[in-house]
Amino acid sequence: MQIYMPTNVYSEDNCVMNHRKELAALGKKALLVTGKHSSRANGSLEDVKNALQKTGTAYAVFDKIEENPSIETVMQAREFGIEENVDFVIGIGGGSPMDAAKAIALMVANPGEDESILYEAHEFEALPVAEVPTTAGTGSEVTPYAILTIHARRTKQSISYRIYPVLALIDSRYLKTESVDTLINTTVDALAHLIESYLNTNANSYNRMYSEKGLRLFAKVKDDLLQCRRFGGEPKQTLSDEAFDMLMQMSATAGMAITHTSTSLPHGLSYAVTYEMGVPHGKAVGIFLPGFLAYYEEKEDVRAALRQMCFASVDDFTGYLDELLGKVEIADDLWKKDVEMIMENQAKLKNYPFTMDEGTLYKFRR
Ligand code: NAP
Ligand code: FE
């Protein structure tokens, strides 16, 4: 039995400032990689700038990362990073900037190479990466994965490299500016990571400890999330500081779980739905979670996962998720293409611990 989780993780209020020396130790000049707006609104970008200034570390900001970042944006940031002579990268934001930071760190470290190396397994090294999450969903601050949009193939895919962040600085206060939709969609992403890692061919007792912990945290916050959906407004009006903390912990533990196992069918099926319909990542993954559990409900592992979440049955779980996320209609032709694509995706298919055929998979759409 084995597990590898090399990221140095801190999680507390004021985390970035508290650990500025470890951040500054990563290099001489940082490239701050972030989205267009949110890191300014929630204070995370300001915190990182202040921490670097206080340690006398230079930095340059690239703030053009879009949701579901593309290879084109990564290459644009790479040019900027090379011009600015940076030697480490800090991703600040949701999974999109955090994933982009890893791919950019690889490309800046290899200025003689073109984008083709992203999807070929070479031995190239990346610059050191630190991550500051501002959503509680992807766990990208601890995972080695970086998922990019490939427009040429009209889908998304993880790059071929495993780039482990050196440092993760987690402060749940950044979540307080989230909208209800972002909060819920990202939590469902973390939930999917926990479930897809728990029920996974690569699972062992170590990653299952992470999943069990994360599923129990989800059980504690799940009613609050439904309250947020029912009453609208800003999540910070409904959720306590402790609840925001639990969401961040759930997301990071889920990241640790998939670092060991990777994800499985719901994630694989979600990418085309996000690309073709613009459905946010967590919501797109959530569509397929009930199907993932339903066909093997009698198996002890599935029942154990339901128990950790405090759901009596898959029906109970499905009813909850339907109210939380709402319904998404996937057109027949897209669904057919999606199922065909996943039946050819051996990497995702082999992670599913039970037998799967095209007919069963076809019923995953709700
Ligand atoms: P995201 O795409 O990073 O962000 C979604 C939206 O939320 C953006 O509009 C962003 O605004 C905003 N936002 C971020 N933090 C906020 C805050 N604290 N308050 C208010 N708004 C905030 O969403 P995500 O779900 O975190 O990441 C999804 C990406 O991660 C996908 O590409 C997915 O494939 C990938 N992913 C990676 C892993 C992994 O292991 N590496 C796992 C699962 C998913 P701005 O654009 O202005 O910042
Ligand atoms: Fe995900």
**Could you say which of 142, 173, 204 is where a domain stops?**
173
Do 192 and 341 have their domain in common?
Answer: yes
CA of 9 relative to ligand 2 center, distance in Å: 19
Which residue puts its alpha carbon closest to atom 7 of ligand 1? Answer: 182
Q: Is 189 in the pocket of ligand 1 (CB under 6 A)?
A: yes
Instruction: Confirm whether 337 is domain-assigned.
Output: yes
Q: Atom of ligand 1 at shortest distance to CA of 174?
A: 18
Q: Is 44 in the pocket of ligand 1 (CB under 6 A)?
A: no
pLDDT at residue 337 in the model: 95
Which residue puts its alpha carbon closest to atom 31 of ligand 1? Answer: 68
What's the CATH code of the domain at 267? 1.20.1090.10
Instruction: Confirm whether 3 is domain-assigned.
Output: no
Do 205 and 91 have their domain in common?
Answer: no
What's the CATH code of the domain at 26? 3.40.50.1970
SS (H, E, C) the chain: CCCCCCCEEEECCCHHHHCHHHHHCCCCEEEEEEECCHHHHCCHHHHHHHHHHHCCCEEEEEEEECCCCEHHHHHHHHHHHHHCCCCEEEEEECHHHHHHHHHHHHHHHCCCCCHHHHHCCCCCCCCCEEEEECCCCCCCCCCCCCEEEEHHHCEEEECCCCCCCCEEEECHHHHHHCCHHHHHHHHHHHHHHHHHHHCCCCCCHHHHHHHHHHHHHHHHHHHHHHHHHHHCCCHHHHCCHHHHHHHHHHHHHHHHHHHHHCCCHHHHHHHHHHHHHCCCHHHHHHCCHHHHHHCCCCCHHHHHHHHHHCCCCHHHHHHHHHHHHCCCCCCHHHHHHHHHHHHCCHHHHCCCCCCCCHHHHHCCCC
Q: 166 is written with which tokens?
A: 């050196």
Q: Atom of ligand 1 at shortest distance to CA of 133?
A: 15
Q: Is 67 in the pocket of ligand 1 (CB under 6 A)?
A: yes
Do 168 and 182 have their domain in common?
Answer: no
* Of 33, 96, 236, best ligand 1 pocket probe by most atoms within 8 Å of the beta carbon: 96
Instruction: Confirm whether 2 is domain-assigned.
Output: no
- Block means of pLDDT (10 residues each) for the chain, 366 residues, are 96 98 98 98 98 98 98 98 98 98 98 95 93 98 98 94 98 98 98 98 97 98 97 93 98 98 95 96 97 93 98 97 95 96 88 92 87
pLDDT at residue 365 in the model: 86
* CA distance linking residue 146 with residue 95, whole number of Å: 9
Domain, as residue range, for 283 = 178-362
* CA distance linking residue 348 with residue 335, whole number of Å: 17
**Could you say which of 150, 173, 196 is where a domain stops?**
173
pLDDT at residue 278 in the model: 97
Q: Is 93 in the pocket of ligand 1 (CB under 6 A)?
A: yes
Do 123 and 208 have their domain in common?
Answer: no
* Of 38, 177, 285, best ligand 1 pocket probe by most atoms within 8 Å of the beta carbon: 38
Do 118 and 186 have their domain in common?
Answer: no
Instruction: Confirm whether 1 is domain-assigned.
Output: no
* Of 68, 104, 132, 147, best ligand 1 pocket probe by most atoms within 8 Å of the beta carbon: 147
Report how many domains make up the chain: 2
Helix pair 241-261, 205-231: axis angle to 10 deg? 140
Do 157 and 250 have their domain in common?
Answer: no
Q: Of the ligands numbered here, which is closest to the C-alpha atom of 163? A: 1
β-sheet bridge partners, residue 11:
170
Do 29 and 107 have their domain in common?
Answer: yes
Report field, pTM of the whole predicted structure over 0.85: yes
